[in-house]
């Protein structure tokens, strides 16, 4: 997520102005920096020609998590998953973790251990090692800043900037689930009874959606497969919501996009949630942040090979649109066949 430099809530500081200003002021061209500020992760190269991928992600209490609705282990898991997802979006292999944690006065040693257990539970399947960090007292709440380091084969890293006109747009898994899960967690308990349509959302759906928010899966294997086979021309992980992350790809690649709303992959649970809350399911999918699915573009020549090998690998991919010229902008094709400009409705956190 990190080198994107995005500010996660409304504030007096404007996120994109800040990113652009920092990029302009502090990024000096250097041959060893393959990619600096402005992608899911930074990429540097060594004298021996190896490529290293680095990302850092900050989670703060009251902005990214709420101790009333998540355990310390779940917070740790999500923090690690967010970083793993950034490495996945670069097509990299995550290897080493550094964790900086500020602990409030109410925090106990037990809380800290649970936090680390959660982090390492997310890291274990990828054999990521904790190699260091820092710990401090906090006068505010909990602050968790993780840095994840990985590798990617030289010249195979996936950037946001490579999308070409005519490329197909794909997304992994299903989208909108994490937002639905977060909204369910934040509903006051009384709400469930008050809502006339609540019956439509089963306990199983509820559990699935909350799980997708609290224990997201970083698509590391898909990212590696896309990069090593040279399938993707650009990639990003969905952490700002589909509409926001599409915008990043379009800006960095200087292209437009047409998204087929009817093709958006929605889980039955997300559809049930939208129905129960009389929401438009497409809106949940477009604005939902932190699904940590991969959004990527593929040349038309690669389409068949991609879809065939995805099937044999058991990867769930959905083609949801096509890259257009820059002047086309970001447009959505509705179920009724109507086109409209897509508003930037990225979800901003719960403050």
Residue 335 CB: number of other CB atoms within 10 A? 10
**Contact between 197 and its own copies (CB under 8 A)?**
no
Alpha-carbon distance values, 54 to 41, 90, 92, 93, 131 (Å): 5, 10, 10, 11, 14
Residue 196 CB: number of other CB atoms within 10 A? 8
**Contact between 190 and its own copies (CB under 8 A)?**
no
Q: Give the binding-site size for its own copies (rule: CB under 8 A).
A: 84
Q: What does the block give as tokens for 270?
A: 């997300």
Out of 70, 88, 94, 143, the only residue in the binding site for its own copies (CB under 8 A) is 143
Site residues for its own copies, 16-45, by CB under 8 A, read 17-18, 21-22, 25-28, 30, 32-33, 36-37, 41-42, 44
**Contact between 56 and its own copies (CB under 8 A)?**
yes
**Contact between 47 and its own copies (CB under 8 A)?**
yes
From CA 59, how far away is CA 42, in angstroms rounded? 19
Site residues for its own copies, 58-87, by CB under 8 A, read 58-64
Question: Which ranges constitute the DSSP H helices of 68-175?
Answer: 72-89, 109-123
Site residues for its own copies, 309-328, by CB under 8 A, read none
**Closest distance to its own copies from the beta carbon of 124 (Å):** 10
From CA 341, how far away is CA 326, in angstroms rounded? 13
Q: What does the block give as tokens for 26?
A: 């502090």
**Contact between 218 and its own copies (CB under 8 A)?**
no
Out of 24, 105, 193, 327, the only residue in the binding site for its own copies (CB under 8 A) is 105
**Closest distance to its own copies from the beta carbon of 24 (Å):** 11
Site residues for its own copies, 229-258, by CB under 8 A, read none
Q: Choose between 129 and 191: whose C-beta lies nearer to its own copies.
A: 129
**Contact between 93 and its own copies (CB under 8 A)?**
no
**Contact between 91 and its own copies (CB under 8 A)?**
no
């Amino acid at each position: 997520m990190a080198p994107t430099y995005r500010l996660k809530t409304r504030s007096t500081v404007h996120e994109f102005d800040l990113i652009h200003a920092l990029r302009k002021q502090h990024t000096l061209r250097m041959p060893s920096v393959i990619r600096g500020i402005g992608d899911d992760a930074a990429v540097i190269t060594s004298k021996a020609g190896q490529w290293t991928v680095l990302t850092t992600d900050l989670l703060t209490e009251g902005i990214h998590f709420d101790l009333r609705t998540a355990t310390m282990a779940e917070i740790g898991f999500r923090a690690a998953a967010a970083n793993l997802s950034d490495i996945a979006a670069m097509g990299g292999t995550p290897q080493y973790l550094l964790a900086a944690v500020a602990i409030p006065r109410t925090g106990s040693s037990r809380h800290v251990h649970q936090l680390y257990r959660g982090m390492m539970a997310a890291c274990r399947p990828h054999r990521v090692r904790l190699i260091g960090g820092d710990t401090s007292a906090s006068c505010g709440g909990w602050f968790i800043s993780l840095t994840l380091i990985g590798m990617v084969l030289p010249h195979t890293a996936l950037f946001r900037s490579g999308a070409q006109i005519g490329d197909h747009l794909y997304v992994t898994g299903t989208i909108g689930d994490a937002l639905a899960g977060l909204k369910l967690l934040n509903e006051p308990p009384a709400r469930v009874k008050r809502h006339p349509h609540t019956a439509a959302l089963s306990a199983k759906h509820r559990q699935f959606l909350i799980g997708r928010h609290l224990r997201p899966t970083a698509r590391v294997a898909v990212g590696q497969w896309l990069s090593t086979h040279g399938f993707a021309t650009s990639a990003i992980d969905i952490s700002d919501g589909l509409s926001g992350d599409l915008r990043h790809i379009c800006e960095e690649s200087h292209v437009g996009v047409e998204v087929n709303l009817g093709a958006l992959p929605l889980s039955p649970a997300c559809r049930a949630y939208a129905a129960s809350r009389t929401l438009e399911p497409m809106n949940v999918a477009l604005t939902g942040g932190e699904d940590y699915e991969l959004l990527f573009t593929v040349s038309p020549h690669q389409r068949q090979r991609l879809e065939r090998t995805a099937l044999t690998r058991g990867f769930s991919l959905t083609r949801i649109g096509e890259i257009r010229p820059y002047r086309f902008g970001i447009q959505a094709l509705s179920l009724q066949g109507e086109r409209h400009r897509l508003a930037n409705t990225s979800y901003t956190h719960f403050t």
